[in-house]
Structure 1
Amino acid sequence: MPDTLPQGRPAHRPVVAPALLDEYRARGFVTVPGILEPALVSALKQATDRLWEAGRGLAEKTRHYDLSAGHHAGNPRIRRVSSPTELDPVFEQAAFDSVLGDIAADLIGGPVKFYHSKINFKLPGGGEEIGWHQDWPVFPHTNANLVALSVPLTPSRRANGCLRTIPGSHLGGARSHWAGGRYVLNCNESMTDEELAAAEDSEVDPGDVVAHHGLVVHGSAPNPSPDIRTTWIIQYAAADAFAYTAPVIDSRHRNRMVRGEPARHARVEAGVIELPPDFSAGYSSIYSLQTGRAG
């Protein structure tokens, strides 16, 4: 096999152990411990620091920056940087050429393409809760073979609002993310006491990667700790999964192949799809949609 595929795509090199693949398929999420090289983690942290500083002086949100109330240069309160692959080549290289692409291809089980990415900052002293939700209903595709890779850039613990996931919830299909006629971007109303009791914390460190399926139910609590929690999240899709709706986070890199060849056919899973609102004119943020606040 050649070292690279056409258009400069790296050849897929399997990296996820079979036992972890089985865990992912059965539970809908898995942690791949210590998979990232320290040099890559360091480069991602430095690039994130540069983006944070670049957003410090913003007066209002932009296409790339989502700001929390009270943000100003002396007290930056950046909640999210969308599409960092457009802002710093370190993220583009990591998303497409590093072991992250191999992890995605392993879990997708074949050719994989990039959909979007974002850096989430869970601010200290109460950084906002993310309600229970699934990714696929927010950006439905012709099939649900989507995987999100969470790359912690700071230690992620229950005490600072780490990712929480419901094991096996991906096997139950899509849930409604509407309530009372309003799109709330969470499925809190469908959650049972048994599911809440089964929720697991993903307590991880820089160098680890947490992967979750597009239909697994997940969320996170507020961050009452004094330390920020920073995570880069990359959303990948199977090559034969095609979006039905406008992207919530667009990028010039959307649908660019990561491993393998582009699909010539769409694989369509049967079923009724509850659509999100039309985001073609722009997407506010998960924070404003879940709280009902504008902005």
Structure 2
Amino acid sequence: MKPQDVLQHPTNVLTAAQRRQFFDKGFVALPDYVPERWLARLRAAMAELLDCSRAKTQTDSIYVLEEGHSANDPRLHRVASPQDQHPTFWEFMTDPVMTDLAADVVGPDVKFHHAKLNVKSGKGSRGFSWHQDIPAWPHTDFSPVTIGVYIDGCTPEQGPLSVAEGSHDGPLFSMYDDDGNYVVKIRDRDLGWLTDDKIRRITGGPGTTLLLNCRAVHGSAPNTETAARPLLLPVYSSADSFPITPSPIPSPHQGDIVRGLPARFASFDTRPVEMPPDWRGGYKPVWMHKNKDKVAY
């Protein structure tokens, strides 16, 4: 569903000004949005996943380990598809606290695409460079939205997710490096326009929630604090938006209608988008490519 069509529907959670900010600037942040009753459950579920990671000695398709990870001191950068690893995450992602919020920017009929939990352990080595999301999982339109929930909050020292304001209305940049590797990173020579006055670093207390347009340029620095910075990142789209390629983060829940009704017709936005590698052969994580910045998408 295109923005002009979404705007024909009343909001559920956002004010009119907040929704307008999302479409005008490419993001909107809601301080302390998720209630404590949900945060407590998410923390408990995350603790169980962290405990499961103790048996891991190297990164796999689910657990991305941070430097120094061990059974005695489990350290995670990411958990892929947390909704498939613990039922609490799927309950949360399908609760109206999330689906009504998604509906405010994608339309009343909402489809789930994928999710990840970026734990980002303290004193970590990984941030992620400036990039855009939609080239990794292109759709028939640009309705997909990532809803980021800071489970424990985020300070400026914890590598907050940072957004280039208004960049969603600009071009889509290549996510390939000069050697043809798909690195989900905008080349430095394409970032001359990105000055500090355009960057918005999203911080806030527990439950602070960010809605991020799929075309927006964003990134983050490493977490230099001792405490982890868990950020839950489910992605939703309008029901009439369909993925063009297999997902790099597959899930049995991909395509589930989590609010409203399935679509009988597809929505198309004909602006071009670069295609990712053929994910049918498996996803090669970007951190497997050599790069001096130790960047992980």
State the TM-score, normalized to the length of structure 2: 0.89
Counterpart mapping for 1:7-46 below 5 A? 14-46=12-44
Q: Which runs of 5+ in 1 are unaligned?
A: 1-11
Establish whether residue 191 from structure 1 lines up as the match of residue 224 from structure 2. no
1:142 match: secondary structure: coil
Amino acid of the residue matched to residue 77 of structure 2? R
With over 3 angstroms needed to count, the CA separation of the structure-2 counterparts of 1:290 and 1:36, relative to structure 1, is farther
Amino acid of the residue matched to residue 178 of structure 1? Y
Paired with 1:273 and 1:265, the residues of 2 have a C-alpha distance of 21
Paired with 1:239 and 1:289, the residues of 2 have a C-alpha distance of 34
Conservation of the 8 A alpha-carbon contact between 1:108 and 1:237: yes
Counterpart mapping for 1:131-146 below 5 A? 131-146=129-144
2:105 match: secondary structure: helix
Give the match for residue 112 of structure 2.
114
Amino acid of the residue matched to residue 35 of structure 2? E
2:251 match: secondary structure: coil
Give the match for residue 5 of structure 2.
none
Tell me how far 1:224 sits from its aligned partner.
Answer: 1.7
Conservation of the 8 A alpha-carbon contact between 1:185 and 1:290: no
Give the match for residue 213 of structure 2.
213
Is 117-126 or 46-55 further displaced after alignment?
117-126
Tell me how far 1:95 sits from its aligned partner.
Answer: 0.4
Deviations 1:35-84 (A, max 9, x none): 22211111111111111111112123333212234432023222111111
Tell me how far 1:184 sits from its aligned partner.
Answer: 1.8
Conservation of the 8 A alpha-carbon contact between 1:28 and 1:212: yes
Is 244-253 or 267-276 further displaced after alignment?
267-276
Paired with 2:204 and 2:285, the residues of 1 have a C-alpha distance of 25
Paired with 1:152 and 1:17, the residues of 2 have a C-alpha distance of 21
Moved over 4 A (4+): none
Deviations 1:109-146 (A, max 9, x none): 23111111111121222341201111111111111111
With over 3 angstroms needed to count, the CA separation of the structure-2 counterparts of 1:202 and 1:290, relative to structure 1, is farther
Give the match for residue 7 of structure 1.
none
Give the match for residue 123 of structure 2.
125
Paired with 1:75 and 1:235, the residues of 2 have a C-alpha distance of 30
Give the match for residue 172 of structure 1.
170
2:24 match: secondary structure: helix
Conservation of the 8 A alpha-carbon contact between 1:56 and 1:72: yes
Q: Which runs of 5+ in 2 are unaligned?
A: 1-9
Deviations 1:169-224 (A, max 9, x none): 00113211112122221114321244444111101221221110000010001112
Paired with 1:102 and 1:119, the residues of 2 have a C-alpha distance of 21
1:179 match: secondary structure: coil
Tell me how far 1:288 sits from its aligned partner.
Answer: 3.3
With over 3 angstroms needed to count, the CA separation of the structure-2 counterparts of 1:112 and 1:138, relative to structure 1, is same
Conservation of the 8 A alpha-carbon contact between 2:177 and 2:187: no
Paired with 1:266 and 1:291, the residues of 2 have a C-alpha distance of 39
Paired with 1:209 and 1:270, the residues of 2 have a C-alpha distance of 30
Establish whether residue 225 from structure 1 lines up as the match of residue 220 from structure 2. no
Give the match for residue 54 of structure 1.
52
Match of 1:68 among 66, 69, 74: 66
Give the match for residue 3 of structure 2.
none
Amino acid of the residue matched to residue 226 of structure 1? T
Deviations 1:232-264 (A, max 9, x none): 111111111111111011111111001111111
Percent identity over paired residues:
31
Tell me the number of residue pairs that the alignment of Structure 1 and Structure 2 aligns. 283
Paired with 1:127 and 1:69, the residues of 2 have a C-alpha distance of 7
1:261 match: secondary structure: coil
Tell me how far 1:290 sits from its aligned partner.
Answer: 7.8
**Aligned-residue RMSD, C-alpha:** 2.0
Give the match for residue 4 of structure 2.
none
Paired with 1:142 and 1:208, the residues of 2 have a C-alpha distance of 30
Establish whether residue 200 from structure 1 lines up as the match of residue 178 from structure 2. no
Paired with 1:267 and 1:173, the residues of 2 have a C-alpha distance of 20
Amino acid of the residue matched to residue 268 of structure 2? V
With over 3 angstroms needed to count, the CA separation of the structure-2 counterparts of 1:157 and 1:243, relative to structure 1, is same
Give the match for residue 6 of structure 2.
none
Is 283-292 or 134-143 further displaced after alignment?
283-292
Paired with 1:232 and 1:223, the residues of 2 have a C-alpha distance of 16
